[in-house]
Amino acid sequence: MLQLNFIRENEQEVIGRLSIKNFDGKEVIRTIISLDGKRRETQKQLDDIQAESNILAKEIGILFKSGKSDAANELKEKTVVLRSQAKDMDTLLESTRKELDELLVKVPNLPHPSVPGGTTAADNLTVYSEGEVHPAAAYAVPHWDLTTRYDIIDFATGNKVAGAGFPVYKGKGARLQRALINFFLDEAIKAGYQEIQPPYVVNAASAYATGQLPDKDAQMYYAGLDDLYLIPTAEVPVTNIYRDLIVKITELPIKNVAYSACFRREAGSYGKDVRGLNRLHQFDKVEIVQIAHSDKSYAILEEMREYVSGLLRKLELPFRVLKLCGGDMSFTSALTYDLEVWSSAQARWLEVSSVSNFETFQSNRLKLRYKDDSGKIHLAHTLNGSALALPRIVAALLENHQTETGIRIPAALVPYTGFDFID
């Protein structure tokens, strides 16, 4: 959520930067500023009434002690009027705050000045690419056929047990999943991240704090009886560990990594791009999350981008890095890099990671702050990234490392799988 003081002091800049995300903010920003003025004026009137009431209370006490009860009772009548006024002001203040908050949560984060304009993924900028991208070999087949051929993932049984988008991994497919999770966790720990094992459900306050609510409620699985949400990513519970905290500046950056299953309804997804492992309702992911000093978050974003790139190198996959345009960015992000791997059999790029800086957008909702050396309190910056999401990584491994006789396992993974070939 944007900070009110920044909106108030930078109205035109806010409106202009929101337009990069194709969000017409003119009317809502002006309404927010007007409501904020009303809120501050109401608060001042309430404070003045309370201050006057406090003065009168002291005077009444002095008058009673002096035996001047008539004068004291006269002042007491005035305090009754002030209490009534204070109650009215308090009611007005609460309704104004509510109206203001309802508008603020509808305003997306401001994009970083370097974010390019654009409306769709076609307008994203390729900032880096690595590895050979070539047409599929004559024997190359898509991963959904390979999984059947080698009996490692069973989509039909998953559909019977739960529904479409819930595959069953078996044999070397299950071991490959476990190997990737352990490999990604070990790599993150070596890079200085602390491993966290979070809950797979969160309450509404947690989902609100990281921006899933109210923006993405239709995409989340909801357990109504318990008023809990299944997590769409480990980012949500891990970041919420720091909700309502003031951390020491010496603790920054805070680096956490977590494996979790992830649950997404993916409402409205259909067509060839969701076939096989391309888009699932339940999938495994390792997530990295950092809490950073406001002056250092963009240097950290670049470090995180390079870290994820390093994982893809070790998996021997061709990949590219995109800087997302305003129209393709999430509601909460200030700057996002997507990392995509090449699918040789599908002849298309598959997104496997988004690495984002949210600046203070999440921490303002989280009330996540740090204290500097002079004792001043600041909102921290939050960042996260997939490191990595497994389904499309598995798809790319199967398709890019397939041979005429089976699937080759990258050398970095062999100590984790216990085998170097799927046949």
Q: Which two tokens stand for residue 200?
A: 């797979």
Residues 6+ positions from 170 with CB-CB distance below 8 Å: 151, 152, 153, 154
Average pLDDT value for residue range 299-307 = 98
Question: Which amino acid does the sequence have at 137?
Answer: A
Average pLDDT value for residue range 153-181 = 97
CA 117 to chain centre: 21
pLDDT value at residue 165: 95
Q: How far apart are CA 363 and CA 345, in angstroms?
A: 42
Single out the residue of 255, 329, 244 nearest to residue 17, CA to CA: 329
Give residue 67's region: left, alpha or beta (phi > 0; psi -120 to 50): left
Helix (H, G, I), strand (E, B) or coil at 356: strand
312-358: per-residue pLDDT in tens?
Answer: 999 999 999 999 999 999 999 999 999 999 998 998 999 999 999 99
pLDDT value at residue 70: 82
Average pLDDT value for residue range 159-166 = 96
369-418: per-residue pLDDT in tens?
Answer: 999 989 999 999 999 999 999 999 999 999 999 998 999 999 999 999 99
Residues in the chain: 423
**What average pLDDT does the structure give for the chain?**
95
Given a cut of 60, whether residue 31 has pLDDT beyond it is yes
Question: Which amino acid does the sequence have at 163?
Answer: G
- Residue matched to tokens 């989340």: 220
pLDDT value at residue 276: 95
Query: With contact defined as beta carbons under 8 Å apart, do 399 and 350 qualify?
Result: no
267-298: per-residue pLDDT in tens?
Answer: 555 555 789 999 999 999 999 999 999 999 99
Confidence of residue 218 (pLDDT cuts 50, 70, 90): confident
pLDDT value at residue 217: 83
Residues 6+ positions from 280 with CB-CB distance below 8 Å: 165, 166, 167, 264, 266, 391
Q: How far apart are CA 334 and CA 331, in angstroms?
A: 9
Domains of the chain: 4-104 (1.10.287.40), 121-422 (3.30.930.10)
Helix (H, G, I), strand (E, B) or coil at 395: helix
Instruction: Please give the model's pTM, rounded to 2 decimal places.
Output: 0.93
Average pLDDT value for residue range 229-237 = 98
Helix (H, G, I), strand (E, B) or coil at 289: strand
- Residue matched to tokens 């890099």: 337
Instruction: Supply the DSSP symbol for 296.
Output: T
- E strand or H helix that includes residue 281: none
pLDDT value at residue 72: 83
Q: How far apart are CA 211 and CA 104, in angstroms?
A: 12
Spell out the long-range contacts of 263-272 with Cβ–Cβ below 8 A and sequence spacing 24 or more: 263/200, 263/220, 263/221, 263/230, 263/231, 263/232, 264/219, 264/220, 264/221, 264/232, 265/218, 265/219, 265/220, 265/221, 266/165, 266/219, 267/218, 267/219
Confidence of residue 22 (pLDDT cuts 50, 70, 90): very high
Distances (CA, A) of 124 to 24, 117, 257, 345: 21, 9, 28, 23
Given a cut of 90, whether residue 266 has pLDDT beyond it is no
Least confident of 34-48, 107-121, 213-227, 286-300: 213-227
Q: Which two tokens stand for residue 98?
A: 């509510």
39-97: per-residue pLDDT in tens?
Answer: 999 999 999 999 999 999 888 888 888 888 888 888 888 889 999 999 999 999 999 99
Q: Which two tokens stand for residue 238?
A: 């891990």
